[in-house]
């Protein structure tokens, strides 16, 4: 009895497999993971790309630059987002895993310093930031900056930072402290939005994160690299012309030169349409484009 229906069953299975197989109309999925700085613009790119190529779905998640890079090395994502360059140790790990990382600069970001709106500080320098955040820094009170911060009753500088898997954390350390490490005791936040939110609610706080996350509930001082140098406010314009001293590249990494759907997607990101999306999100485009 069972053998009587076997040919018909096999035919049905073959038709099902053929109908579900690949082809020009089949839908592809790209995995894109990493930097929390880039996650909002990456989601905007992915959403817009659905209208550009309906046959490609881009799944975006955050978790930090280090998390995205590790996933790219392990082959679990197609594209890793990063707000810092890959470390030598990460490149060595990738190569030992048979992966040759390829770097794509997709835009630039001004790394802003965030203060509570009642903080009277209007400008800050690299040496002062190192004194606040660096392990050897001695600036622990607002009065040590010759500042009378009446909204901060105990005068303590509350340092808001990022978790150590964040590209923002790594870039800020390298740009401001060089070889020195962070001092202990900061409040380390998971994402840029969390930094802004906590600073806005904490009169004694100072924090740092991407300019694109700025809100009307915080203030941003101008920043000078040297004590006597020019003081520049973070803005889209100062990120584009690189006059802001803490402007950094934003990266996407692929395992080898991208091909197929991945290459098409990255080419579109670098097109005028893709670059105008990143500019609309508050970042500087990687190349000169004219946007409405």
Mean pLDDT of 26-55: 94
- 111-135 residue pLDDT tens: 999 999 999 999 999 999 999 999 9
Residue 190 has pLDDT above 60, yes or no: yes
Cα 140–chain centre separation: 28
The proportion of the chain whose per-residue pLDDT surpasses 90, expressed as a percent, equals 84
Q: Which of 13-22, 50-59, 61-70, 168-177 has the lowest mean pLDDT?
A: 13-22
Tell me what the pLDDT averaged over the chain comes to: 91
Q: Given pLDDT bands bounded at 50, 70 and 90, which one contains residue 26?
A: low
pLDDT at 28: 87
- 69-110 residue pLDDT tens: 999 999 999 999 999 999 999 999 999 999 999 999 999 999
Query: Which ranges in the chain are annotated with CATH 3.40.190.10?
Result: 28-108+249-285, 110-247
pLDDT at 228: 85
The proportion of the chain whose per-residue pLDDT surpasses 70, expressed as a percent, equals 91
68 closest CA partner among 278, 251, 196: 251
pLDDT at 242: 86
Cα–Cα distance for residue pair 63/81, rounded to 1 Å: 10
pLDDT at 240: 86
Q: Given pLDDT bands bounded at 50, 70 and 90, which one contains residue 9?
A: very low
CATH architecture, domain 110-247: 3-Layer(aba) Sandwich (3.40)
| CATH superfamily of the 28-108+249-285 domain | Periplasmic binding protein-like II (3.40.190.10)
Q: Given pLDDT bands bounded at 50, 70 and 90, which one contains residue 3?
A: very low
Mean pLDDT of 187-200: 95
Q: Given pLDDT bands bounded at 50, 70 and 90, which one contains residue 292?
A: confident
41: exposed, middle or buried (Cβ count in 10 Å: 0-12, 13-18, 19+): buried
C-alpha distances out from residue 1 to 7, 9, 13, 28, Å: 12, 13, 19, 42
Q: Which residues contact 168 (CB under 8 A, 6 or more apart)?
A: 35, 36, 37, 65, 83, 84, 111, 162, 192, 208, 209, 210
Ranges 5-19, 24-38, 168-182, most confident? 168-182
């Amino acid at each position: 009895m069972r053998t009587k229906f076997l040919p018909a069953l096999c035919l049905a299975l073959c038709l099902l497999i053929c109908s579900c197989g690949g082809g020009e109309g089949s839908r592809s999925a790209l995995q894109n993971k990493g930097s929390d700085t880039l996650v909002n613009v990456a989601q905007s790119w992915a959403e817009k790309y659905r209208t550009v190529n309906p046959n490609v779905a881009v799944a975006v998640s955050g978790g930090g630059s280090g998390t995205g890079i590790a996933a790219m090395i392990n082959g679990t994502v197609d594209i890793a987002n990063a707000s810092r360059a890959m470390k030598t140790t990460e490149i060595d790990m990738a190569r030992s895993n048979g992966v040759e990382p390829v770097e794509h600069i997709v835009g630039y970001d001004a790394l802003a310093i965030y203060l509570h709106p009642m903080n009277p500080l209007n400008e800050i320098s690299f040496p002062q930031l190192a004194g606040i955040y660096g392990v050897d820094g001695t600036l622990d009170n607002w009065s040590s900056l010759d500042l009378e911060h009446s909204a901060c009753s105990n005068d303590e500088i509350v340092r808001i930072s990022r978790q150590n898997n964040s590209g923002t954390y790594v870039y800020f350390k390298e740009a401001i402290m060089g070889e020195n490490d962070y001092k202990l005791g900061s409040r380390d936040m998971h994402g840029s939005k969390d930094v802004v939110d906590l600073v806005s609610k904490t009169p004694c706080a100072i924090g740092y994160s991407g300019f694109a996350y700025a809100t009307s509930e915080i203030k941003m001082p101008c920043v000078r690299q040297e004590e006597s140098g020019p003081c520049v406010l973070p803005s889209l314009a100062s990120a584009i012309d690189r006059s802001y001293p803490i402007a950094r590249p934003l990266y996407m990494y692929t395992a080898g030169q991208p091909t197929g759907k991945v290459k098409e997607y990255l080419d579109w990101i670098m097109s005028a349409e893709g670059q105008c999306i990143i500019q609309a999100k508050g970042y500087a485009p990687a190349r000169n484009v004219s946007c409405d």
